């Protein structure tokens, strides 16, 4: 992993992680980076490497499931959740001890589905895991996990090829993108609403929660009003946009 100074845009010395590092998450206090290593090739599983931002020193690798991908950290910074693409599980890691907890089964890889993105409600009580896949409803869609118990709820079906997830800043609604469009999910009931057609992932939501920007074609993204579910005018960008971020 390579640190880059935001003052000079100069890269620093590369920091060793594991084999094939793929995703990075930083604790809210900025003290620790967690890097998922998706290519160890171990039968037992792969690893996540904690790195101190003060010293740039990697800690002892943390054993998780196979092919760890996305990492997300709870708003209070106490737990890192890791999606194991090749195990169909999510692993919680205690950030105080760097000890992994019991695997949470959310998908049925290698049959049809794999966990990917994770998003938390602002109060940190629920983690929503996007489960990707290619066939039928099954466990595809979004799986809620109560962080107090790490118990997964029933999968919420949002259409084929789910690809991205965001949560409104007030914590009331989850939006999941799929082939069907953007599906709003009430966090109070975990019931999906009517899909918003014409847009899909990737997507990002503004800090005030009023607008989602989402891919709407091979070279456009479109603003979507969360109040009305109406699409604004498409914005021309480059070919095949892969990621969207919004300034604070």
> 158-177 burial by CB neighbour count: b if 16+ within 10 A, else e?
bbeebbbbbbbeebbbbbbb
Mean pLDDT of the chain: 92
The confidence score (pLDDT) of residue 194 equals: 96
List Cα–Cα distances, 175 to 8, 67, 140, 146, 211, in angstroms: 37, 26, 15, 18, 12
Helix or strand (DSSP H, E) at 152: strand 151-152
The confidence score (pLDDT) of residue 138 equals: 44
Summarize the confidence of residues 187-197 as an average pLDDT. Answer: 96
51, 53, 54, 57 alpha-carbon torsion, rounded to 10°: 30
Q: Phi-psi region for residue 29, left (φ > 0), alpha (ψ -120 to 50) or beta?
A: alpha
Evaluate if residue 24 carries a pLDDT over 60: yes
CA-closest candidate to residue 139, choices 111, 161, 108, 164: 108
Share of the chain above pLDDT 70, in %: 93
Of the listed ranges 33-37, 84-88, 163-167, the least confidently predicted one is 84-88
Are 130 and 117 contacting, i.e. CB atoms less than 8 angstroms apart?
yes
The confidence score (pLDDT) of residue 94 equals: 98
Give the pLDDT band of residue 87 (cuts 50, 70, 90).
confident
Give the global pTM. 0.92
Evaluate if residue 137 carries a pLDDT over 50: no
Helices H / strands E in the chain, number of each: 0, 20
Evaluate if residue 113 carries a pLDDT over 70: yes
Of the listed ranges 10-19, 132-141, 152-161, the least confidently predicted one is 132-141
The confidence score (pLDDT) of residue 173 equals: 98
List, edge to edge, every strand of the sheet that includes 151-152.
113-120, 126-133, 141-146, 151-152
């Amino acid at each position: 992993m390579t640190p880059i100074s935001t003052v000079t845009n100069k890269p620093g010395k590369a920091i060793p992680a594991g084999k094939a590092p793929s995703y990075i998450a930083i604790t809210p206090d900025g003290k620790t980076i967690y890097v998922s290593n998706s290519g160890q090739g171990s039968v037992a599983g792969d690893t996540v490497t904690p790195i101190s931002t003060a010293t740039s020193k990697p800690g002892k690798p943390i054993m998780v499931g196979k092919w760890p991908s996305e990492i997300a950290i709870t708003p209070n910074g106490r737990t890192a959740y890791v999606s194991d693409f090749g195990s169909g599980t999510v692993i919680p890691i205690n950030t105080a001890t760097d000890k992994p907890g019991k695997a949470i089964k959310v998908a049925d890889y290698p049959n049809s589905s794999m966990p990917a993105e994770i998003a938390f409600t602002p109060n940190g009580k629920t983690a929503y895991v996007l489960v990707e896949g290619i066939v039928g409803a099954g466990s595809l869609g979004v799986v809620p996990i109560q962080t107090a118990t790490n118990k997964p709820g029933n999968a919420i079906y949002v259409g084929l090829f789910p690809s991205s997830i965001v949560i409104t800043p007030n914590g009331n609604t989850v939006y999941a993108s799929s082939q069907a469009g953007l599906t709003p999910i009430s966090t109070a009931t975990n019931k999906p609403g009517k899909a918003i057609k014409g847009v899909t992932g990737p997507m990002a939501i503004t800090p005030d929660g009023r607008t989602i920007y989402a891919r709407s074609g091979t070279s456009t993204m479109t603003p979507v009003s969360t109040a009305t579910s109406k699409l604004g005018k498409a914005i021309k960008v480059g070919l095949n946009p892969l990621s969207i971020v919004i300034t604070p």
